Amino acid sequence: DVKVTQSSRYLVKRTGEKVFLECVQDMDHENMFWYRQDPGLGLRLIYFSYDVKMKEKGDIPEGYSVSREKKERFSLILESASTNQTSMYLCASSLTGLNQPQHFGDGTRLSIL
Amino acid sequence: QQPVQSPQAVILREGEDAVINCSSSKALYSVHWYRQKHGEAPVFLMILLKGGEQKGHEKISASFNEKKQQSSLYLTASQLSYSGTYFCGTMDSSYKLIFGSGTRLLVRP
């Protein structure tokens, strides 16, 4: 069965810290995505990657970076965490191609104090 | 630009029908539908491609009118298990999937 695993379900960090959110998929998917989910705003795309070491900006990349050194792992990095980055972060993966379903992880609820 | 979903929320009794709409200001290649139950990951329901085809998943079906840049999700004879938040995602010439803000559906016994 398809599995996307996010390293933490809940995370609390302090303003200014560098934060790493990790995502691993076991389906050999080429595409991986990072979204943030906020009430009333739905899912907003931060970054995505269609291959190892490749990345593309989504709609809200400011304040974030990503790393994809291996096919199965996609990391989201908050360079200097701020309180407005408190949110639910969802990782997803899919096969290559435009119209492939995305498989989501359970999410990481990140609080920045 | 995010697609607009309507209604924002709907409450049904078991067995009733509902329609959720999704509209975009841009020409679309496809529309994707997902459902997210409280505290869980979003789950894929279906994809509709250009051509106006209608697809189904259990008693949930959807249509895509590419000329109007709209899609509708039809929930027939709703069950308690249908409760959750439904998201449409639209793909345009940017080749990014952009999600709407969601429609919260509650089915009561």
The whole-angstrom distance between A66's CA and the closest CA on chain B is: 17
* Residues 37-66 in A contacting B (C-alpha not used; CB under 8 Å): 40-45, 48, 58-59
Residue A91 has pLDDT above 90, yes or no: yes
Condensed to tens digits (0 to 9), the pLDDT of residues A36-89 reads 999 989 999 999 999 998 999 999 999 999 999 999 999 999 999 999 999 999
Distance CA B30, CA A29 (A): 21
- Chain A closest CA to B2's CA: distance in Å? 9
Which residue of B26, B53, B99 is the best one to mutate when testing the A interface, meaning the one whose CB has the most A CBs within 10 A? B99
pLDDT tens readout for residues B11-32 = 999 999 999 999 999 888 899 9
pLDDT digits (tens, 9 = 90+) for B35-45: 999 989 999 99
pLDDT above 80: residue B54? no
**pLDDT higher than 80, residue B55:** no
d(CA B70, CA B66): 6
The H-or-E segment that residue A26 falls in is none
Quote the minimal CA–CA distance from B29 to chain A in Å.
Answer: 9
The H or E element containing residue B60 is: strand B60-65
Bridge partners, residue A103, by sequence: A93
Q: How far apart are the first and last CA of chain A?
A: 37
